Amino acid sequence: MAREGTRQAIKGVIKWDISNDDQIPADLPQADCILSLFLLDVISKDKDAFQNNLKKLTSQLKPEGHLILFTALNMTFYKVDGEKFFILPLDEQFVKQAVINAGLVIEKVNVLPSKNNCDLIDFDAILHIRACMKTF
Chain residues that interact with ligand SAM, rule: CB under 6 A: 17-19, 37-39, 42-43
**Taking the complex as a whole, how short is the minimal distance between the CB of residue 100 and ligand SAM, in angstroms?**
23
CB of 46 to ligand SAM, least distance (A): 14
Would you say 37 or 100 has its CB closer to ligand SAM? 37
Q: Which is nearer to ligand SAM, 112 or 135 (CB)?
A: 112
Query: What is the rounded CA–CA span in Å between residue 122 and residue 107?
Result: 28
Distances 51 to 6, 8, 46 between C-alpha atoms, Å = 30, 33, 9
Residue 73 CB neighbours (<10 A):
20
Q: How far apart are CA 121 and CA 123, in angstroms?
A: 7
Nearer to ligand SAM, 23 or 136 (CB): 23
